[in-house]
Structure 1
Amino acid sequence: MTSSEMTVGELIDRLSAHDRSAPVRLAMNPFFPMAHRVEQVLASVDDTGRAVVYLAEGRDEGAQLGHLPAEVAVALTWQGPVQAPPRRPRRRAGGN
């Protein structure tokens, strides 16, 4: 198969390297990176009849967890590393 899509086997292999009790989350939207809870795994077929598995976020209000941690967005190359601006000397009362 010559596709950039990850297979179920590849996902299982990658997940097996991690703590089985760790929660699974989806990283969504590279232009406004957010984290979402995974609630369901669903099987279907695509337009060609090939089996496809979907990871779906929850429908409840708490399914979107907020902004994606910066280090995750950087690792995904969705944003560049950000450094704090250089500090300026503090002004003193009286203009000194």
Structure 2
Amino acid sequence: MTHTELTVGDLIDLLSACDQSAPVRQAMNPFFPMAHRLAQVVQAVDETGRPAVYLAEGRDADTQLGHLPPEVAVELAWQPPVQAPPRRPRRTAGGK
């Protein structure tokens, strides 16, 4: 099975449509989705000898920001859309 990897050019194209003043976050772990702050971009060579760019989270204690917003997890297809359960009629003071 071949994987299509996002390239730097693809990332630039995708980011160019975004608000340039918005902070960048990294979504991690589809089974326990969390949001992280990005702190560094490092260009290196991967294990196959090809150039690769790594986006890294910071080392500060507040780098992990908490749970990923549910709408982001749904958009990433990490969680199914969830609807609120149907409301039942309230009981009255007389028990009816």
Query: Does TM, normalized by the shorter one, top 0.5?
Result: yes
Give the whole-Å Cα distance in 2 for the aligned partners of 1:65 and 1:48. 33
Equivalent in the alignment of 1:66: 66
Letter of the structure 2 residue corresponding to residue 65 of structure 1: L
CA distance in 2, matches of 1:47, 1:31: 27
Q: How many residues were matched structurally?
A: 95
**CA shift digits 1:57-95 (9 cap, x unpaired):** 111111111111111111100001100000111123342
**Counterpart for residue 32 of structure 1:** 32
- Separation of aligned partners in 2, 1:67 and 1:47: 31
What is the alpha-carbon distance in structure 2 between the residues aligned to residue 58 and residue 18 of structure 1? 22
Segments of 5+ residues of structure 2 without an aligned counterpart are none
Residue 19 of structure 2 aligns with an amino acid whose one-letter code is: D
Q: TM-score, normalised by structure 1?
A: 0.91
Residue matched to 2:54: 54
Identity over the aligned pairs, expressed in percent?
74
5+ residue gaps, structure 1:
none
Q: Give the ranges of 4+ consecutive aligned residues of structure 1 lying more than 3 Å apart after TM superposition.
A: none
